[in-house]
Amino acid sequence: MAPHPYTTDSLLYITDRPDLIFMEGQGSWLIDHRGKRYLDVVQGWAVNCLGHCHPAMIRALDGQARKLINPSPAFYNEPMLRLAHLLTDHSCFDRVFFANSGAEANEGAVKLARRWGSRHKGGGYEIITFDGSFHGRTLATMSASGKPGWDTLYAPQVPGFPKAVFNDIASVERLIGPNTVAVMIEPVQGEGGVNVATPEFMRELRHLTLAHKLLLIVDEVQSGCGRTGRLFAYEHAEIEPDLMTLGKGIGGGVPLAALLCRAEFDCFNPGDQGGTYNGNPLITAVGCAVFDELLRPDFLEQVAQRATELRAGLLKLAAEFNFPGERGSGLLRALVLNQDIGPQIVTHARELEPRGLLVNSPRPHLLRFMPALNITADEVCDMVELLRAAICKALS
Ligand SMILES: *Cc1c(COP(=O)(O)O)cnc(C)c1O
């Protein structure tokens, strides 16, 4: 491979990265330092819901940058108010707090639940979360996460996050005690390997939390904003949660996240919660542009259509290679492999010539697909062909 002219050793080492530099992106395609093109179904980890460098986002960034970048979080600004209204008008929630990352939005949800617990649940603070869940990389959200190994990493953990079994209502009920204040769940566990909560389980959770006067918090950082073919994944179960967090797709690639709640849970005291960049107009203007695209007529139907095609393509590959199958919701899907060759397939896919494929393997026996929501039918076909070639190489 042609070397690139950059040295990388001044970055703190946190993960192994392939030795190439991405220079440009357009829609579902990324271009590296040699001009090689890659079909990208990682999209910044389910972040770029409109693909790379969408014109509506560029217009919003450029237009807002010329007007006002940051008046301070202590003042209102126009895009912040407009985006808050877009979110409350199209969900069951009434209030929005903007943040810069999914983890920060989830920290806000934990704080709001604890604040509500101190007022209305006799000081209750425990939030039941799930095995295999992922809520972020701050100390509290790592403790809330059920990722194997994270129960001891950076000890001591933040207490108050007992873990239940996903899709098992009895396991949740058993954990409810005098200090319980909430249950927090991803409607689709993304990092955990694309595990979908059944609509029945979501409804059982809603009944159980109402019966015990507990908050139901949905972490839709990955499943929200059109990813599953509905604006928010909780809609599939026809329930109304109490709190929701958004991240990733809400900014389409820029750092934006949000905590939403119904009016009765709007209980922070002034000064309890905030942040330097929260709700700044440069980023919320992009959020408005992204949301406007999601609301276009037919946008979500097209997501569902592409999801059907992607599912059919993955099932065909599964049949061809004798893999157990595929699973997921909308354009968040996984191909289940019959051996731990996920990482090898990822490497072979990237190294295909003349065009590569960027795909992710969150578990060694699993590949995850989180393409741009506006990926075309042709690109879905291309993806299946490239993936077939990569699987053949990994198996040979
Ligand atoms: C990615 C993710 C987070 C963390 O978001 P960051 O922006 O990386 O902090 C939290 N919850 C879920 C479900 C996620 O997928």
Known active-site residue 291 = no
Cα 222 to ligand 1 centre (Å): 7
β-pairing verdict for 95-99 and 257-261: antiparallel
Nearest residue to 218 via CA among 206, 204, 200: 206
Q: What is the mean pLDDT of residues 209-219?
A: 98
Residue type, 149: G
Known active-site residue 219 = yes
Q: What is the mean pLDDT of residues 78-97?
A: 98
Nearest residue to 383 via CA among 27, 41, 8: 41
Residue type, 225: C
pLDDT at 2 over 70: no
* Ligand 1 atom 5: residue of nearest CA: 102
For residues 95 and 266, is the Cβ–Cβ distance under 8 A? yes
Cα 331 to ligand 1 centre (Å): 17
For residues 126 and 158, is the Cβ–Cβ distance under 8 A? no
| The Cα angle at residue 186 between residues 239 and 345, in degrees rounded to 5 | 135
Give the sign of the dihedral formed by CA 185, CA 190, CA 195, CA 198.
Answer: positive
Q: For 162-192, how does the pLDDT look when each residue is reduced to its tens digit (9 = 90+)?
A: 999 999 999 999 999 999 999 999 999 999 9
Known active-site residue 248 = yes
Q: What is the mean pLDDT of residues 227-250?
A: 98
Atom of ligand 1 nearest to the CA of 101: 7
Nearest residue to 222 via CA among 276, 145, 165, 149: 145
